[in-house]
Amino acid sequence: MKPCLMLDVDGVLVHGRPKGESWVENVERDLGVTPEILETCFFEPHWADVIVGKKQLMDVLERCLPPVAPWLAPQDFVDYWIANDSVLDEDLLSEADALRRHGMLVFLATNQEHMRARHLMERLRLAEHVDGIVYSAAVGARKPEPAFFDAALKLSGTAARDTVLVDDMRANVEAAREAGWLAIQWTRGGSLIRRLGAECRCIAEV
């Protein structure tokens, strides 16, 4: 069976704004709404359900934005968010491409809602670089929940022992290992191929 690389998105393949700042860095200046208000009215009460597909992003925003930012259209907010959280790690992507050319399956494995997942695959054209995407809103579970890892194996058609997760969150790495996967906690600036060869021994140098 082919080995399979499961790549996290935020913190691994995507790093927010061009200089690495969070997408909320200038949200008050640009949209007139503070990060604190967004946290109180949107993220804290709704995000846990949005990220696993129990609520739809636009439905929630159409209810929670008008009372605190009536001038801000939900679609404008989403467009701003996505545009300011879309800088790809081109070096990492190039290494993933090389692994794929040499026979390794490559999937995105990420906690995302539906709109941004489509943006990643279509607008950022990641569909051209991977064999598929496993994301939380589609499978109804998020990392580090065991159900996410079960769904990922079902979608990829691979076995746990042949699958490696690359993720920046320690909890996700530990959960993947508990599920029988190989896993690497990612930090920026390293070589994916060298890390896989040294820590997982699941591929040859390419």
Q: Which of 40-44, 61-65, 82-86 has the lowest mean pLDDT?
A: 82-86
Q: What is the mean pLDDT of residues 137-142?
A: 98
Alpha carbon 65 to chain centroid distance? 25
Mean pLDDT over all residues of the chain?
Answer: 93
Percent above pLDDT 70 for the chain: 95
Residue 189, pLDDT > 90, answer no
pLDDT at 17: 67
Sign of CA dihedral 72, 54, 152, 149: positive
Q: What is the mean pLDDT of residues 124-133?
A: 97
Q: What is the mean pLDDT of residues 39-66?
A: 97
Alpha carbon 92 to chain centroid distance? 14
Residue 198, pLDDT > 80, answer no
Domains of the chain: 4-16+87-200 (3.40.50.1000), 27-83 (no CATH)
Residue 188 identity (one-letter amino acid)? R
**Closest to 51 measured CA to CA, from 143, 122, 146, 176:** 143
Q: What is the mean pLDDT of residues 23-34?
A: 92
Distances (CA, A) of 59 to 33, 49, 50, 51, 71: 19, 12, 10, 13, 17
**Closest to 155 measured CA to CA, from 147, 167, 143:** 147
pLDDT at 202: 54
pLDDT digits (tens, 9 = 90+) for 85-127: 889 999 999 999 999 999 999 999 999 999 999 999 999 999 9
pLDDT at 21: 74
pLDDT at 206: 40
